[in-house]
Amino acid sequence: MDEFPKTDMAQRPRHNRAHLVLTLLAFAVAGAASWEAAIRISDEVENRTARQMRAALTRDGHGWVTVATDGLTVRLTGTAPDEVARFRALTAASGLVDDRRIVDGMEVAERDLLEPPDFEMEIMRQGDNMSLIGLVPASTDREEIASRFAARAVEISDLTSTAAFPAPESWNSAVEFAMQAALLIDQGTVSITPEKMVITANAASADDRSRLEAALRDVVPEGMAVEISVSAPLPVIAPYRLRFTSDGDNAALESCAAETEATREVILSAATEAGVTETPECPLGIGAPSGWSEAAAESIASVARIGAGTVEMTDNAIQIVLPADIEDDAQEAETARLAASMPADFNLNITRAETSPHDGPPHFLATIGAEGLATIEGGVPDETMRQTVQSLARAQLGPLEGELRLDPSLREGWALRVMAGLDAMGAIDTGQLEVTPDSISLSGISGDTLATERAIAALATRLGAGAEYMISIAYDPRRDPGIVLPDGTDCVDRLNAVMLQSEIGFEPGGARIAGDIGPVIEELRPIMEECADYRLELAGHTDSQGSDTLNMSLSLSRAEAVLGALAEAGLSVEHVVARGYGETRPIAENDTEEGREANRRIELTLISPEPVPAPVDAAPIMTGTTPSAQEAQATLNLSAPIEITPVVAEPSLQLPVSPFGEDALSDPPKLEPPAEVLPATPDTPRPPERPEDEAVTIEEPT
């Protein structure tokens, strides 16, 4: 085995030692660099924290505080003018870093013992949590304050300091009032100084704000200066609506909404420039589409340039109706001009008014004819309302003819009156509705004994109390679903059953009735009373014996004899006719005695399956004003309220608010002398006509 040379073996340890030294040196250099970088990062974090802290304290009025950082520790030093300032500086610093990292080295300036300090106390409340902060006289009973709040289940943190000086004049009464005020509010601050008191609070709504302000002022001690500021969040307005109208001489901003005072001023200024002299209520609320006030101002200015028209805005949908006589070129030019100035995401639709074929005041007319076909005519203020009212009319009246026209001159509340009238029209089967600005008139026929009360309740449910009406609804029992009347086929079958059990005979070869027909007539009487409205035929028939002329005369005479006996007994036979057919309609062979006996007969047949139209007694005209919805329901004595037919409309549509108050006094309905009502023909569905071969047969003895 070969061996390494000795010279190589001697040199190897020296080589290893050199390599180790170089390696350790490299690690040392790298560690030094990393340490230096870490120090730089740490210094930067400390400096940034100090800068942020100084800026925040200076912004809050605590420039006297000195900020120093040592790693994660923040040291605050400086001389505070008083204890309240020191506490506020410490609170502001805690809002930036964890208070466990803060070292409080601040001092409070020494005051001349003969000069009392500036006493101040703040009561901060957040629901059931309350904090007392500030410097108070040593005589202030802080335990009493804490116990009174604890009795109201309020958790209190006392962070006040005391000074051994007499309490300023009115201090104790101010503290007493501050405790009362703090118990009234749910969120806010009550600040007390010897000079005045400031209350800042939040309310849940505008109504709650008014209530809270009144409650706070009620407990203010006499002679104490108090500033009360209660704020409430703005309500959500959905949908956002605006309506502006102008007829050339007069302009009106009938409704509007805005999100801020500034945007409201933009809208009102545009309305004033367009000729509006009376500033309307324009409530503030959140929910306005972006660019709402600009779009409203541009739309109002557009109508002002034309000279007349209507602007109807619902969220980001704008409907402008221009006068009917505007030239096409002028309409196109104004459309292009307005579209170019309109904010993004607004849908603009400009149309012209439709010429009314009627003179006089606005009106709406709806009619249900005898055949069930309904018609409507009249005007509505805009396209949205036209679609809404026509949809309700179809739902309430069924198949519909006619279309409403656009009339921008109609004011808010008109469409609501029309819809209320359509609701009331659901109480009649045939008749007419007329709506005017002054009254709602409804006349017709119904099979409901409570139709008038239901119509009034429908008006009250939609309009509230105070709407004038004139109603005349006649009752037709044949339309009453609670009364089951026989149809024509039932009448013939029941008459047949009685006649078959009776023996009505005639003298041989003659037309005089043989025997007593009285018992038969008494059995027929109740049936004829129920079937008096159907047209019946009482027909006589003979066999083939004798001449044709004799048989024809004999059959008619016998039928007339039976009909005369029924009429003489007082039965309702005004719609029954007697006819003779002789031997022309045999039902058997005449070459046998049995066959001839079958052919000698009297038959009752149904002429028409529909009852004869009968006049309905005229109903009195009832006038008055609607009561409240609750009073109307009580009059009906219903267990369930009147259901108003839902209106199918655009999602953003907001129906007009009723112009009548719920609590308005109403005059009791009064009856007027009877008056004529619209003529109508009953159209109650009836079963199909019975075939001619089905008849009641009165067997005639030989």
Q: What residues does each domain of the chain span? A: 59-108, 120-231, 241-352, 364-480+616-674, 488-608
Name the residue with higher pLDDT: 170 or 570.
Answer: 570
- In this structure, is the dihedral angle defined by the CA atoms of residues 529, 531, 534 and 536, taken in order, positive or negative? negative
Q: What is the rounded distance in angstroms from the CA atom of residue 626 to the CA atom of residue 220?
A: 46
Name the residue with higher pLDDT: 670 or 310.
Answer: 310
- In 279-401, which residue ranges form alpha helices assigned H by DSSP? 292-306, 328-341, 383-397
Percentage of the chain beyond pLDDT 90 is 16
Tokens of 137: 């006289």
**Mean pLDDT confidence for 61-79:** 87
Rg (CA), the chain: 49
Give per-residue pLDDT as tens, 475-490. 888 788 877 777 888 8
263 pLDDT tier (thresholds 50, 70, 90): very high
Candidates 162, 163, 202; CA nearest to 184 is 202
Cα 239 versus chain centre, distance = 12
Q: Is the pLDDT score of 670 beyond 50?
A: no
Window from 243-257, 340-354, 412-426, 626-640 with minimum mean pLDDT? 626-640
Candidates 332, 327, 334; CA nearest to 299 is 334
Q: What DSSP assignment string belongs to 626-649?
A: ---HHHHHHHHT-SSPPPPPPP--
Instruction: Classify 399 as helix, strand or coil.
Output: coil
**Mean pLDDT confidence for 100-106:** 85
Cβ proximity of 53 and 93 under 8 Å: yes
Percentage of the chain beyond pLDDT 70 is 82
State the pLDDT at residue 356: 55
Instruction: Classify 470 as helix, strand or coil.
Output: strand
Distances (CA, A) of 245 to 274, 303, 313, 454: 10, 8, 12, 36
Q: What is the rounded distance in angstroms from the CA atom of residue 437 to the CA atom of residue 384?
A: 20
Q: Which amino acid makes up residue 12? A: R
State the pLDDT at residue 649: 41
Name the residue with higher pLDDT: 670 or 270.
Answer: 270
pTM comes to 0.41
Name the residue with higher pLDDT: 31 or 52.
Answer: 52
State the pLDDT at residue 532: 83
State the pLDDT at residue 423: 92
> Could you say which DSSP state residue 613 is in?
P
Candidates 420, 427, 467; CA nearest to 446 is 427
The CATH number of 364-480+616-674 is which of 3.40.640.10, 3.30.70.20, 3.40.1520.20, 3.40.50.300?
A: 3.40.1520.20
Q: What is the rounded distance in angstroms from the CA atom of residue 444 to the CA atom of residue 683?
A: 14
Q: What is the CATH number of domain 488-608?
A: 3.30.1330.60
Domain 120-231 has CATH 3.40.1520.20: yes
Q: Is the pLDDT score of 185 beyond 80?
A: yes
Tokens of 571: 């039965």
Instruction: Classify 378 as helix, strand or coil.
Output: strand
Q: What is the rounded distance in angstroms from the CA atom of residue 254 to the CA atom of residue 241?
A: 10
Q: What is the rounded distance in angstroms from the CA atom of residue 661 to the CA atom of residue 199?
A: 37
Q: What is the rounded distance in angstroms from the CA atom of residue 386 to the CA atom of residue 649?
A: 10
Q: What DSSP assignment string belongs to 583-604?
A: TSS-SS-TTSHHHHHHHSEEEE
State the pLDDT at residue 668: 34
Cβ proximity of 135 and 117 under 8 Å: yes
Instruction: Classify 132 as helix, strand or coil.
Output: strand
State the pLDDT at residue 244: 92
Tokens of 543: 């066999």
Q: CB-hemisphere CA count at 13 Å for 170?
A: 16
> What is the assigned CATH class of domain 241-352?
alpha beta
Give per-residue pLDDT as tens, 42-52. 667 678 878 88
Window from 14-28, 130-144, 229-243, 529-543 with minimum mean pLDDT? 14-28
Cα 286 versus chain centre, distance = 19
Q: Is the pLDDT score of 110 beyond 80?
A: no
Window from 204-208, 372-376, 526-530 with minimum mean pLDDT? 204-208
Would you report the helix, strand and coil content of the chain in percent, each value rounded to 5?
Answer: 35, 25, 40
What residues contact 616, with CB distance under 8 A and at least 6 apart?
A: 445, 474, 475, 476, 677, 680
Tokens of 293: 């006030």
CA end-to-end span of the chain: 163
Give per-residue pLDDT as tens, 429-443. 888 999 988 889 999
Q: Is the pLDDT score of 83 beyond 70?
A: yes
Q: What is the rounded distance in angstroms from the CA atom of residue 484 to the CA atom of residue 466?
A: 39
Name the residue with higher pLDDT: 411 or 121.
Answer: 121
State the pLDDT at residue 265: 93
Candidates 160, 139, 157; CA nearest to 149 is 157
State the pLDDT at residue 574: 86
> 120-231 and 364-480+616-674: same fold?
yes
- In 81-141, which residue ranges form alpha helices assigned H by DSSP? 83-94
Q: What is the rounded distance in angstroms from the CA atom of residue 70 to the CA atom of residue 101?
A: 10
Name the residue with higher pLDDT: 29 or 562.
Answer: 562
Window from 116-120, 128-132, 146-150, 501-505 with minimum mean pLDDT? 501-505
State the pLDDT at residue 28: 56
Tokens of 601: 């007969």
State the pLDDT at residue 40: 65
Average pLDDT of the residues of the chain: 79
Q: What is the rounded distance in angstroms from the CA atom of residue 80 to the CA atom of residue 52?
A: 20
State the pLDDT at residue 702: 36
Instruction: Classify 700 as helix, strand or coil.
Output: coil
State the pLDDT at residue 680: 35
State the pLDDT at residue 459: 92
**Mean pLDDT confidence for 34-42:** 59
Q: What is the rounded distance in angstroms from the CA atom of residue 466 to the CA atom of residue 454?
A: 17
**Mean pLDDT confidence for 632-661:** 48
What residues contact 144, with CB distance under 8 A and at least 6 apart?
A: none
Name the residue with higher pLDDT: 74 or 300.
Answer: 300
CB count, 10 Å around CB of 278?
8
